[in-house]
Structure 1
Amino acid sequence: MKTCLTLLLSVLFCFSAIAQQGPSYIEKGKFTLGLNLQTVSYHIYYKEGKTKGSVRSGYFTPVSINTGYQLSDRASLRLSLGLGGDRDKLTEQIQGVDYKHDAKTVALVSSLSLYHTFFNLYRKLPIYGTFSVVPAYGSTSLQTTHNGANGPVSHTVKDSGLNVFAMAGAGFNYQISNRLYGNITYFFYKYNLSGMNSSHYDWDQGYGLRSITKSFELGMNYKL
C-alpha cells in the first residue's frame, strides 16, 4: 500500500507540474467522447465450464470507446463499449504423452461509470473517485492436441457466458487543449460478481509491483 501511494503521489506531482506551465481552461459542455485503455486483466467464468483443466482461459483486457454526460460541476456519468481478448498456450505431459493446449478468448465489454471530483489540485488537476458496473460477454475456444498412435489428435471445446464486475478507483484529469483532456485511473477495488476473486489467479496480481501496474486505466476525452 505504501508503494502504491508513493507511486500515485509521484505521478500526481509530475502532471501537476506540467499543468502549471500554462493557463488551465477546458471548454464547458454536457457531453464527451473518449477512448479508454486498461491494464486490468479480467477473468471471466462460465456456468457450464467445458474449458476446465490445465488451461482455464477466459481472461481479457479491454479497449473501449465511451460517451460521457456532465451531471453537475463535480459529477458525471460515462457509458462505454469495448472489446478485449487473450490467448493462452500450455504444454503438459500426462503418462509420457505431451498435450498442447491453445485457448483463445474474446469478450464484448460495456460499463456504466459514475465519476465524482473531490477537489481540484492547484485548480489545474481535478482529483476524482469512480465506481463502475462492468457486464462482459465472453467466448472461449480451447484446442487440445497430442500425438496418437496414428499421428496428431486434436479436439476443440467452446464455452461462452456473461459475467458482471464491480470496480472502484481514484484518478485525475489533465488538460491537453481547450476541449481535449486525458485521465488516469487507479482501480483499488476489483470484484467479479459472477465468479471467483483470487488476487493471483483471477486478477493477475500476485507479483508485488505487478499488482499496481495491472490496475490502471488511461483515457483520452473530447468535450463536445
Structure 2
Amino acid sequence: MKTCLTLLLPVLFCFSAIAQQEPSYIEKGKFTLGLNLQTVSYHIYYKEGKTRGPVRSGYFTPISLNTGYQLSDRASVRIGLGFGGDRDRLTEQIQDVEYKHDSRTFALVSSLSFYHTFLNLYRKLPIYGTVSVVPAYGFTSLQATHNGANSPVSHTVKENGLNVFAMAGVGFNYQISNRLYGNMAYFFYKKNLSGMNSSHYDWDQGYGLRSITKSFELGVNYKLGVEK
C-alpha cells in the first residue's frame, strides 16, 4: 500500500502542474486518462492448488492505469490495465524440524467498469454507482525449506491461472482543476466468479473496521478533450 501511495502522489502533483486553471466545476471532456489504486485484497484460486498451505498465497492488491470515455452527462465507461502482488513468509516447528515457507504472487489485472452519476450535490460533488468486471492472471511461487541431514533442503512449486471478479460500489468525484479530478469509491459487493468468497479468508477483510478499510478505491483522472 505504501508503494502504491508513493506512485500515486508524484502523478497527482505532475497532473496538477500541467492542469492549473481558473477554478470551476469539472469541464465535460470525452476522454480521460487515470491512475487508480485499491485497498481491496483479491485472492486467486488455482486449479491444482499446489501452493496452498500454512502460508498465504495467491493474493494481490492492484494499481492500474485506465482510459475512460464519457457516454453521456451521467454515464461513462473505463478500461484499465494494471498489476499487483503479495509476499508472505512463515516459519513453523514440526517434530523439532524447522520449516520455512516463502510465498510470492504477481498478478496482471484488467478491468471494464461502468459509472453512472445519480446525484450531483450542489453541482460540485457527483455521487456515482459503479460496476466492474475484473479478470486477473496470477503467478504464484511457493518455496519450502527445512533442515536436512547435512544441509537445508528446499522445494519450490509454481502455479498460474486466471480468475474473474465482479465488483459494485458507490463513490464520488472531486475537483482538483478544470481538467483534473480525483475519485474515491467504496465497494460493497465483491465476488470471485472463479473461486470461493469467504470475507475473512478470500477477501482479507477480517472483522469490524478492517472490512471497511479493505474495500476502497482511490484515483486521479485527467480529461484529454474538453468541450467549450
1:121 CA drift (Å): 0.8
Unpaired segments ≥5 residues, structure 2? 1-21
User: What secondary structure does 2:172 align onto?
Assistant: strand
> Is 2:25–2:123's contact at 8 Å kept on the other side of the alignment?
no
Indicate yes or no: 2:53 matched with 1:53.
Answer: yes
Q: Distance in 1 between matches of 2:60 and 2:85?
A: 4
Assess if the C-alpha contact under 8 Å between 2:135 and 2:162 holds in 1: yes
User: Per the alignment, in what secondary structure is the counterpart of residue 212 of structure 2?
Assistant: helix
Question: Is residue 144 of structure 1 aligned with residue 144 of structure 2?
Answer: yes
* Map of 1:107 onto structure 2: 107
The aligned residue for residue 15 of structure 2 is: none
Distance in 2 of aligned mates of 1:121 and 1:29: 20
Percent identity over the alignment is 86
Q: Which residue of structure 2 lines up, in the alignment, with residue 130 of structure 1?
A: 130
Aligned to 1:18: none
- In the TM superposition, 1:179-194 aligns within 5 A as 179-194=179-194
Note the alpha carbon deviations across 1:145-190, whole angstroms, 9 max, x for none.
Answer: 0001111111110000000000000000000000000000000000
TM-score, normalised relative to structure 1 = 0.88
Displacement over 6 Å in runs of 4+: none
Q: In 1, are the aligned partners of 2:144 and 2:155 still within 8 Å (CA)?
A: yes
Residue type of the alignment partner of 1:186: Y
Residues in 2 aligned to 1:66 and 1:217: alpha-carbon distance in whole angstroms:
13
**What is the SS of the residue equivalent to 1:198?**
coil
CA distance in 2, matches of 1:167, 1:102: 30
Which stretch has the larger CA shift, 23-32 or 170-179?
23-32
Matched, 1:44 2:44: yes
Matched with 1:199 is 199
Give the CA RMSD over aligned residues. Answer: 1.1
Please list every run of 5 or more consecutive structure 1 residues that lacks an aligned counterpart in the other structure.
1-21
> Which whole-Å deviations, capped at 9, do the CAs of 1:37-73 have from their partners, x for residues lacking one?
1000000110112112212400000000000001111
Work out the CA distance in 1 between the residues paired with 2:72 and 2:156.
51
Q: Distance in 1 between matches of 2:30 and 2:52?
A: 47
Residue deviations 1:72-115, cap 9 Å, x none? 11000000000100001111222221110000000000000000
Query: Between Structure 1 and Structure 2, how many residues are aligned?
Result: 203
Please tell me whether the aligned partners of residues 166 and 191 of structure 2 are also in contact (alpha carbons under 8 angstroms): yes
Q: What per-residue deviation string (whole Å, max 9, x for no partner) do you get for residues 123-159 of structure 1?
A: 1000000000000000000000000111111111000
Q: Secondary structure at the match of 2:84?
A: strand
Q: Which amino acid aligns with 1:182?
A: G
Quick one: distance in 2 between partners of 1:152 and 1:65?
43
Supply the distance in 1 between the matched residues of 2:92 and 2:221 (Cα, whole angstroms). Answer: 45
TM-score, scaled relative to structure 2: 0.87
Amino acid at match of 1:33: L
Does the 8 Å CA contact 2:23/2:177 hold for their aligned counterparts? no
Matched-pair contact (CA < 8 Å) for 2:102–2:142: yes
- 1:131 and 1:70 map into 2 onto residues whose CA distance is 16
